[in-house]
Structure 1
């Protein structure tokens, strides 16, 4: 019985790691660095599978009204920026560095929610320390990265800003949309925006000259990335419904640590002692954040 309780968490971790590793493989190893097409493909398949699952009754999805969809569009715009910039950053950054920078999105969320709810917000010392550690690790990481790529770090900053603002909007906006309905709107909006941007960005013409365009490995990687992205949504929804926010945070933390620990076995990771300290500092900051959220709930 005790093991069965953890099945959703283990399933989430497995899909989480496989999803990031597959994306990293396509972006870095195969070097398919055309995010409007790659992310457009993923969100298109995600929308199709989600709508099909809703029709078959596998997921709970009700009719989305026009007013609900329109009110959610600011979040969808942030979602597009999140996945586009994240794809750019992940293609050039090692997974441990990517997650260290991504963790700073918590700092962005914290500052936005504090500004919006200043009179209601209580600052916990442990949370302040965790935010400081995550921000400090992200700021110092490019200074100690042995193969620093300024463009990659700029895309990572865009990614964490969009991700943090998205979480803040999700927290601030009282929406009657379920997680699946929100994701459906995000995917449909993303497909439209990314399709329109494919030609102006040069991704469309560049992809036609991609050396592995007709490779079976490339096709399998793209197919697996889209399917794993959809499965990650399903297991995330399952995890949130069955566990408290504290335990969800713990499983997300475990999944990130697992991905970061296994990544050197799968990909080439260039890391030195100083950059490793930055990565470790970021993990400590995220761990403290999980504990601070637990303490605030208990209080």
Structure 2
């Protein structure tokens, strides 16, 4: 049983690393910085594969009531903001720096719950959130290649991620599974991003993209969409087969693996101060998982 859990966790880590590397390659190396088209393509393929998988019985997706889909639309809005801003930020920031800012979404999540539910926060969780917060706000000051636009989009991304997590945990009016929620997100994202492609100028910009007709670009885009779908399935499998705190451990490990391997794949400029921010961000996330585990034991 334990070996099966480890295999599931390792498969999740593999898809996590390869998925982020593929997205980073298309966004930064090939410089395809048209998120309405890139994310629209990914969500279209993800939704199509999810639909086919449900029809074939590979995944469990029941008929979604219209009322449940409409009630979930605020979450879908946040999801679109998450992937759009995340794509913008990832195209301009190194992966370790992106994760450092992404981890700060836990602070946003906790603040929203604090003001809405007045819940008491244990001291260990406060300490871990402080590490995440301090790492995120100090990173732009330490970054040797500061990119104002990249950090601005990362801020929008972490706000959307934090708000989405709160909405997901508090949304209990209808019993939608994670896959059903994601299916609604995919459908809504495709429609919204398709309508936004022309006003944002991404459609005409993509037509002048120098790598548009090259096999490497097509392969990268197809791989990013398919890998994103398999990462979704691996994440759902991980959450369904392991306790919440163990899922958190594997997510931390996946980010650490991706952070440690990324300098060998992509060029990035760092200094000791920025490395400290990245390191303490991962430490803070690990302590956050530990604090949630100890609070559940008590």
**1:244 alignment partner in structure 2:** 243
**Aligned-partner Cα distance in 1 for 2:228–2:2:** 28
Count of matched residue pairs: 297
Runs of at least 5 residues in structure 2 that lack an aligned partner in the other structure: none
CA distances 1:59-79 after superposition (whole Å, capped 9, x unpaired): 001000110000000000000
Task: Report the Cα offset of residue 116 of structure 1.
Answer: 1.5
**1:179 alignment partner in structure 2:** 178
Q: Do residues 295 (structure 1) and 294 (structure 2) align?
A: yes
**Aligned-partner Cα distance in 2 for 1:3–1:232:** 20
1:113/1:172 contact within 8 Å kept: no
Task: Report the Cα offset of residue 113 of structure 1.
Answer: 1.2
**1:148 alignment partner in structure 2:** 146
**Aligned-partner Cα distance in 1 for 2:5–2:124:** 29
Q: Do residues 63 (structure 1) and 63 (structure 2) align?
A: yes
**1:276 alignment partner in structure 2:** 275
**Aligned-partner Cα distance in 2 for 1:114–1:58:** 39
Task: Report the Cα offset of residue 226 of structure 1.
Answer: 0.3
Query: Residue 68 of structure 2: SS of its match in structure 1?
Result: helix
**Aligned-partner Cα distance in 2 for 1:241–1:281:** 29
**1:196 alignment partner in structure 2:** 195
Task: Report the Cα offset of residue 269 of structure 1.
Answer: 1.5
Query: Residue 114 of structure 1: SS of its match in structure 2?
Result: helix
Alignment of 1:28-177 (within 5 A): 28-118=28-118, 121-174=119-172, 175-177=174-176
Runs of at least 5 residues in structure 1 that lack an aligned partner in the other structure: none
Task: Report the Cα offset of residue 80 of structure 1.
Answer: 0.2
Query: Residue 269 of structure 1: SS of its match in structure 2?
Result: coil
Alignment of 1:211-250 (within 5 A): 211-250=210-249
CA distances 1:230-253 after superposition (whole Å, capped 9, x unpaired): 001101110001000000000000
2:5/2:242 contact within 8 Å kept: no
- TM normalised by structure 2 equals 0.99
CA distances 1:114-167 after superposition (whole Å, capped 9, x unpaired): 11211xx22100000011110000000000100000000000000000000000
**Aligned-partner Cα distance in 2 for 1:188–1:16:** 23
**1:208 alignment partner in structure 2:** 207
Q: Do residues 260 (structure 1) and 265 (structure 2) align?
A: no
Query: Residue 268 of structure 1: SS of its match in structure 2?
Result: coil
CA distances 1:75-130 after superposition (whole Å, capped 9, x unpaired): 00000000000000000000000000000000000011111211xx2210000001
